[in-house]
Homo-oligomer: A and B are copies of this chain.
Amino acid sequence: LVSGMYVAARRMLHNLPACDVALLLESSPPKSRAVIWQLVDPDEHGEILEELSEEVQKSIIRQMAPEKLAAATEGMDTDDLAYVLRGLPDPVYQEVLKSMDEQDRQRAEMALSYDEDTAGGIMNTDTVTLRPDVTVDVVMRYLRLKGQLPEATDKLYVVNRDDQFIGEVALSRLLTVDTARLVSDIMTPDVQGIPADLDETEVAKLFERHDWVSAPVVDNEGHLLGRITIDDVVDIIREEAQHSMLSMAGLEDDEDTFAPVLKSTRRRTIWLAVNLVTALLAAAVSSLFEDILSQMAVLAILNTIVPSMGGIAGSQTLTLVIRGMALGHITPSNSRWLIGKELAIGALNGLIWACLIAAVVALWQQSWMVGVIIAFAMMANLLAAGLAGVTVPMLLKKFEIDPALAGGVILTTVTDVVGIFAFLGTATLLLG
């Protein structure tokens, strides 16, 4: 590359907002990523790091010098700061912590004391607090003196002398009430602060249900610790929703599309290993019927149809049940109704496709008998698919295994085994 191009690229990167540089980094293969990062103005490192997805952030942090990293963390939101520190190997971590200023170090240590997937791990400490016994007029003068409020501030929090959270005042309320009134008089009391150890999934549900823009985080004694803002919750909601889709393909949430080949291969190999066991099991079931298979090649040719249809029907049910679980729609009281429904769908679809496949096969292979056999197997397997599609994820959930991750493999195993047994077993009985 000509050096003039570097200058032009550097200027271009400098003019892009941080979120665009982050998008560019995420869309680039590893080598280009390193080059782009070198060209970015170090003053913007912190802001760009905050915008990056976890996996890409980690890969960049690992290559930064500790003192540069410490400089980049200045002014970062508490939650991002904690996340960055968590990803560091111990010696670098200590070094970065040492080169940070006192206030940042304290913020970081507080956030690090909570699990990263809890309210405490995603909160920021930039709350603006009020005392209950002052007037709106005083609050207004205090705010004008302050000159600026943290981003996404829609409420001020009211605390007592012990720093315990006792209520909140929306900015819109401050602007619409008589300025002579007391804070204690206009605040919304009885607001439940979010416990610092609440899981982030639950935090997201609370935000979605109450349409919050921000919410206070408290410890066990009710002390105000910080606040969570909607922009962090949006990230959680997106991740949660993507989690199911990625898990169903055996991928991890933070899988980076442009990760190096070796890393990606290692991650995906595990899932192929699990599937190989399933495929060998299906082959072993087929091998039980070697006699009839060696007599009639037509059975070998048709052997994949019934398992394949069962797999598709079962996946549809499974996908719906997994989504229903994530949304909190599926409960013990309605699961029996759901099993009945999916069995009924299985029976109906079974009937339709059994008739159709019987006709196709009878015409194609000129054998009514084979048509009847495949029709029976189809019917049995679509029923099994409906039943397994509901019960497998429910059982997995009971044993606290992620249904999105393990559900598909177990379901396919069921539909493969039932499909092959029903088809080749019936064939052996009737034709063997």
A interface, CB within 8 angstroms of B: 19, 23, 26-29, 140, 143-144, 146-149, 151-154, 171-172, 174-179, 207-211, 213, 230-231, 233-234, 237-238, 241-242, 244-246, 248-251, 255, 257-258, 261-262, 264-265, 268-269, 271-272, 275-276, 278-280, 282-283, 286-287, 290, 293-294, 296-305, 307-309, 312-313, 315-316, 318-321, 323-324, 327-331, 334, 337-338, 341, 344-345, 348-349, 352-353, 356-357, 360, 416
Contacts and interface: CB of A to CB of B under 8 A. Distances in A.
A33 to B, nearest CB: 11
Contact of A271 (B272, B294, B316): B316
A250 B311 CA distance: 13
List 7 A-B pairs, minimum CB-CB distance, nearest first: A241-B241, A300-B300, A294-B297, A245-B245, A249-B319, A149-B172, A211-B231
A352 B276 CA distance: 12
A171 B175 contact: yes
B261 A341 contact: yes
A328 B28 CA distance: 12
Interface residues of A: mostly helix, strand, loop or mixed? helix
A19 B206 CA distance: 11
Given A19-B209, A28-B334, A323-B245, A176 B149 contact: yes
A314 B278 CA distance: 17
A23 B152 contact: no
Contacts of A349: 265, 268-269, 272
Nearest to A212: B231
A319 B278 contact: no
Contact of A175 (B143, B207, B416): B143
Contact of A319 (B154, B234, B246): B246
A151 B319 CA distance: 35
Nearest to A156: B175
Given A213-B154, A352-B269, A338 B257 contact: yes
A320 B28 CA distance: 15
B177 A175 contact: no
Contacts of A27: 328-331, 334
Given A345-B261, A349-B265, A353-B272, A293 B297 contact: yes
16 contacts: A26-B327, A26-B329, A148-B176, A171-B175, A208-B234, A237-B237, A248-B248, A249-B315, A257-B330, A261-B345, A265-B345, A276-B309, A276-B357, A282-B304, A304-B304, A304-B416
